Structure 1
């Protein structure tokens, strides 16, 4: 059996890592642009206050003769703007009761964006995962270095327990960040949250397993297991470096998201080193993401 080509697999791993971080930065810019557009839309939707000279003429505060009253509406036509509303009864109706075609179109675009984003995430990260798997096979990387030498029910159970514990810790971390007034962006989660049963099936049964599998294969198996086995580096040092990269790759979640995600990555890295199992960290990672979507779904609705 030929010796593993550690250098070739490492090159592919670093290439995928760079592309992933670049895509994360693009997602962060996209979400920031949508937030700015939403802010502009809110400003545009506010009623325009007419401060023109014509409006000022209705509020004439110049001194009037003593025989005239300042409340003489006949000589001071303050009520003229009211006549405009009377001539347009549609404007007096409650805007909430009117069907706005733009809102309906916006809702349809939102639903399409959610579905397309789910498919995009599943396909892109699935493709990256396939690239890493093929590279590992062609480079002859040992299964033990990747943490896939064996899979047992015990490992699956450990992953479930770890995932639930990390979800609770993640929620506490987010609340702590809110208490300290550290920004935590959840725009990406809101975009990915489905509004139909089919969408939930796609999310929970397709996108999230692919995301968990790929990210653990990259950040734990490749960046820790392979580099430690191939180059004799300390797995704990690699755990720190991979956790930093893992946090940077989730920059779209804001400063608090980077901190919380970095800590989450550190725990997953430690679990991978201790158990030597990719299955443990994949199951845990999936549960953290799935529970977060399910629990916070009511916030998006």
Structure 2
């Protein structure tokens, strides 16, 4: 018999740890990329003043390779804990959007995931353009840090790290929080979708105010897709494509943002 309450507690702990780690990472990036110093060009007679200036690029001490390893390890740990809870507390895989035969009928959810992923990426591009026009900060430093310097690095990123990120985040924020909790407690999946999207947005605070807002909308769209399709595969594929296109188009191919 499924132990829904225990699994809900585990999911809450993982979400809390996820958000705490994201907050710590955000503080580290902020502290190591900017510094406040006195203004040397202030007018005579004007009191002490300061300005914020960039430090040396963080790549000198934190290479893309090290960052990718760190991301893979932490995401892998979160995913392993949740999956362990699924089997230990005997949670039905169907509640997570995983069919009894995962290999059956894959073309349809794959196609839906691809279509959704491309659409969400285009929407994200337009959202970034609107944020720029409104003067709302969108911090792209983390994206720059994740971009590898070598072909092998890009292969590792696209074949291993980004699929892991998409799989774990969808497992935690959509499958476990929305799917399992709605089935186990009879709660509205739409209400859970809103809560999970807020948490998802807060977990991406390093991207600035615009990034938080856009990530929240992205999370809500993915949660809606999960509720409507009842398929974890659809949202994992879509999530992966959003991240992969964002990195390859702008960092790999050097295509500038819309302006």
| TM-score bin (small chain) | 0.7 to 0.9
* Residue 13 in structure 1 maps to residue 2 in structure 2: no
Give the drift of 1:109: 2.7
Structure 1 residue 256, shift from structure 2 partner:
0.3
User: Map of 1:221-236 to 2, 5 A cutoff?
Assistant: 221-236=175-190
Match of 1:285 in 2: 239
Cα gap change, 1:165/1:8 in structure 2, threshold over 3 Å: closer, same or farther? same
Quick check: 1:120 aligned with 2:70? yes
Q: 1:145 aligns with which of 95, 117, 121?
A: 95
CA contact (8 A) 2:19 2:202 kept: yes
Runs (5+) with no aligned partner, structure 2: 42-55
CA distance, structure 2, for counterparts of residue 219 and residue 4 of structure 1: 20
Question: Following the alignment from structure 2 to structure 1, what is the Cα–Cα distance between the partners of residues 197 and 59?
Answer: 38
The residue aligned with 1:169 is: 123
**Partners of 2:96 and 2:145 in 1: CA distance:** 33
What TM-score results when the alignment is normalised by the length of structure 2? 0.86
2:219 is aligned to: 265
- Note the C-alpha offset of 1:7: 1.1
Task: Work out whether 1:154 is the aligned partner of 2:108.
Answer: yes
Partner of 1:109: 60
Q: Distance in 1 between matches of 2:137 and 2:129?
A: 11
Structure 1 unaligned spans of 5+: 50-102
2:45 — aligned with what? none
Supply the RMSD in Å over aligned alpha carbons.
2.0
* Structure with the largest fraction of helix: 1
CA distance, structure 1, for counterparts of residue 141 and residue 180 of structure 2:
34
* Distance in 1 of aligned mates of 2:9 and 2:178: 14
CA–CA separation in structure 2 for the residues paired with 1:238 and 1:108: 38
TM-aligned CA deviation for residue 260 of structure 1: 0.2
Match of 2:83 in 1: 133
Superposed, 1:1-301 pairs within 5 Å as 3-37=1-35, 109=60, 113-149=63-99, 150-151=101-102, 152-297=106-251, 298=254
The TM-score, its normalising length taken from structure 1, stands at 0.74
Q: CA deviation at 1:113?
A: 2.3
Distance 1:108 1:192, change over 3 A: closer
